[in-house]
Structure 1
Amino acid sequence: VDYTEKGWFVQYIDRDPETIKKQEQTKAKEKMDMDDEERTASLIQKQIKRAAEQGTVAKEVEYTELKRESEEEKVSLNFSGLVSKKKDEQPLKSSENPLAVKKPTEAEKPKKKASRWEKEEPKKEVKKDPFKPPKPGEKRKSALDEIMEFEEKKKEKTNRKDYWLTEGIVVKIVTKKLGEKFYKKKAVVKEVQDLYRAVIKTIDSGDKIRVDQNHLETVIPAQGKLVKIVNGAYRGYDAVLESIEEKKFCCTVSIHSGPLRGRVIDNVQYEDISKIYQPT
């Protein structure tokens, strides 16, 4: 309430908490805007001062009157230097700011030195063109061969396991934990238990032992004998041992029975086949 020349003046002040809060927020925003404007103006002034110190702001050109000492003296003008200078120094476009920092192009950017902790990006593998003609002397695969190769890789992935014990095969004991009596003795797998263990019977003495597959190894018979394929694409098939490549620790077999009878399989590892027990 206030008394003026026109009379009593009454002003209503809203004391509602929400109203007071809004007024305080408005004042804070106005102060923040003013602070931002002051900071921006100060930054511009600093940029102008820095540019002036570095000589980037062009000084005003002072023009003088051309005077000749004598009337007979000739005046010659040389524009070659001016032309070359203009070529070297291209004027700034009207849209360019003399104080703006020019961003380097992709070509001008220095290459980042790779850190020894950073992993190199893997090189993209070049896919082999299936229609590329074979090299001289190389036999081109037929469509049937390619299909068979694909199916074999698929079966290899499916049938390759970390266990291989199979009933009816001959194995060799390769541990001394069972005693010197059984070390390097051959036995027949009589029963497979939980995939990784089996009950075996020694061939010479007839002793039965329960043993883990890690203490056994496969037995490779003589050429022409029957073997069981215990791992890989043709797991479970009976086959005939055709040849042995001792230097590569592998052999060649042919399927003995079934729909794949006669199929020859090369580069079969020793641990993927074992002799089939045939009592004499």
Structure 2
Amino acid sequence: MPKAERGTPKDIANRQKAKGLQKLRWYCQMCEKQCRDENGFKCHIMSESHQRQLLLCAQNPNQFQDKFSKTFLDDFLYLLKRRWGTKRVWNNTVYNEYIMDRDHIHMNATKWLTLSEFTEWLGKEGYAECDYQDGKGWFLAYIDRDPQTLARKKEIEKMMRKQDREEDEQNFKIDMLIKEGKMKEAREEAYLKEQRNRMEAQGDTFIAPVAKKCKFGEEKKTTQIASIEIKSNQKLKVLAKPVRWVQVGAVVKVKSNSIAEFHKQKGFVKEVNGFRAVVQHLKLPKMKVQFHEDDLETVIPQVGREVVIMKGDLAKKTGVLKEIRQKEFCVLVEVKLTEDETTEAFFKFDEVSKKHEKKKKVEELAKIVPIESVINS
């Protein structure tokens, strides 16, 4: 029967019947032809063109099957990636949307017999994360291994880590400013207590300084000043006048590498001349070298050892180390105000240093423990 001319009622009827999906058993994958009924499919099988395609397939059947399987896999994964991304979805939902394309590759032409088998294969090969749910079936989620996507994820993670680090640093700076204020108040109280005891010992009356009260409406200004101080903390440190911190009798560590014998070695301050200090080597007592205080750093001893206060109102005072707080970069020291009075205060690591203890002479040791008894033992 000849084919109907285009535009005729018969041609229009045939086109309307051919719209949408037809039955799978009347589809020829080799010829990519969809028949509407069993009679049409039978006529197609008996046609010369179909016989030629069968002869080509018989020569190398695996080549055609691999080609159809690869095309089916690429189209299925492309739809899964673009439509759902990395979300978890039911495999039947993806397949129903995939077969909506009239020219799609049918699964009976691939090496997979069922959709469940194809889903399991995707999970084994690492294309998707697959899991089985009782009563519903297989679910899958696409694993995106695109280099651009991975690079973008790394950039996002790096940016998030940077933001978290900046927030932690800002919170740490605020905490340190608060602790500095508390430490300053404690030192001021200790200083005032020392002044009061000294004046009472001399018979004078001590008048404590009165703190200035803020007027109504000035609280806002103080908060603004505090915020400006936090933001311009580094600038204030640069503009601040240098203060000499090296004290005689303190143990210090040499950072300068100008002299090999002193590099990263400990010594104690023998003499101070302005911002320079004469340091005597602990292991080589005959070596004495003058260093600038910028080339020196403090030494924190063990808990229970004596320390020297290097900065602040209690400078040159001695005390006993009570506690070391590594996370807060400060130490708790029991400061000796007088022979009978002591107070506790927090200091930064660069505000205290170990006190040099002179070695006891052999004669003094002999008074405590007789040398003859040591030799006999």
* Shorter-chain TM-score tier: 0.3 to 0.5
**TM-score normalized by the length of structure 1:** 0.41
Higher relative contact order, chain-length normalized (CA < 8 Å, sep 6+): 1
Larger proportion of helix: 2
Q: TM-score, length-normalised on structure 2?
A: 0.31
Structure number with greater Rg is: 1
